[in-house]
Amino acid sequence: MAPSSRQAFLAPAIVTGWCLALAQLGYRIARHQLGANPIATALNQLGLLALVLLVASLCATPLKLTLGWTWPLRVRRTCGLLAFFTVLLHFLLYLGPDQGFDIVAVLGDIGKRPFIAVGFIALLLLVPLAWTSSKQAVQRLTFPVWQRLHRLVYAIAVLASLHFYLRVKADHTQPLIYASVVLIGFAIRLFAARVKAKAKRARVVGSASL
């Protein structure tokens, strides 16, 4: 069996896991099992799930470059889209149950609390990426343009880690771990791109001197 058909279960398995995680959260909300501040707990759980999915989608290319693994590339789009839907739910929970759909209060909160402003910018930047995540969008935009646009995901992941960092008051270990994974992945990509460009230059010089 070809590796691609052997790995066909990966994306449906991730979607199923995501649905189960949301169902479990919904069940705990319905059964009043989320403690004294259920909205804050649900917000935090969705925020963390979104960040994990976002960072997972970013690990695909560095894993291929360092370990030669190709299977994470097959689930990168699924993880990215699920991250977007989770952030959307995170935001809707904030907008509705937390802020009572009071747009003026939300705008005031964005102006007052930097961590909310940073999260909001990350959400806005995610929209064009989710919008252009289909194969048709790649064809429409052409691959180089699409690729340049989708590099935004690194900025989004840094903003998301910063949002988390600014939100926690005491122990910053967790947000720093996410930020480090994002930055290490970025450094690996940059290094690989430089090696590739150097090899290309050497080939051009080599063929010119023949």
**Interface with ligand HEM (CB under 6 A):** 40, 43-44, 47-48, 50-51, 54, 87, 90-91, 94, 116, 119-120, 122-123, 126, 156, 160, 163-164, 167-168
Of the two residues 64 and 150, which places its CB atom closer to ligand HEM in the complex? 150
Burial class (CB in 10 A: 0-12, 13-18, 19+), 7: middle
Of the two residues 7 and 132, which places its CB atom closer to ligand HEM in the complex? 132
Of the two residues 88 and 192, which places its CB atom closer to ligand HEM in the complex? 88
Nearest-approach distance from CB 180 to ligand HEM, in angstroms: 15
Of the two residues 60 and 86, which places its CB atom closer to ligand HEM in the complex? 86
Nearest-approach distance from CB 76 to ligand HEM, in angstroms: 16
**Contact of 8 with 14, CB cutoff 8 Å:** no
Q: How far is residue 47 from each of residues 63, 105, 117, 201, measured CA to CA in Å? A: 24, 21, 15, 44
Nearest-approach distance from CB 126 to ligand HEM, in angstroms: 6
Q: Where are the beta strands (DSSP E) in the chain?
A: none
Of the two residues 38 and 64, which places its CB atom closer to ligand HEM in the complex? 38
**Contact of 175 with 164, CB cutoff 8 Å:** yes
Nearest-approach distance from CB 115 to ligand HEM, in angstroms: 7
Nearest-approach distance from CB 181 to ligand HEM, in angstroms: 13
The CA-based dihedral angle spanning residues 187, 191, 197, 199, taken in that order and rounded to the nearest 10 degrees? -170
- Please identify the residue of the shown chain whose CB is closest to the bound ligand HEM: 47
**Secondary structure class of 210 (helix, strand, coil):** coil
Of the two residues 145 and 168, which places its CB atom closer to ligand HEM in the complex? 168
All residues at 6 or more sequence positions from 86 whose CB lies less than 8 Å from its CB, including other chains? 18, 46, 49, 50, 53
Q: How far is residue 201 from each of residues 103, 114, 192, 205, measured CA to CA in Å? A: 54, 45, 14, 6
Nearest-approach distance from CB 47 to ligand HEM, in angstroms: 2
Residue entry with tokens 């894993």 = 63
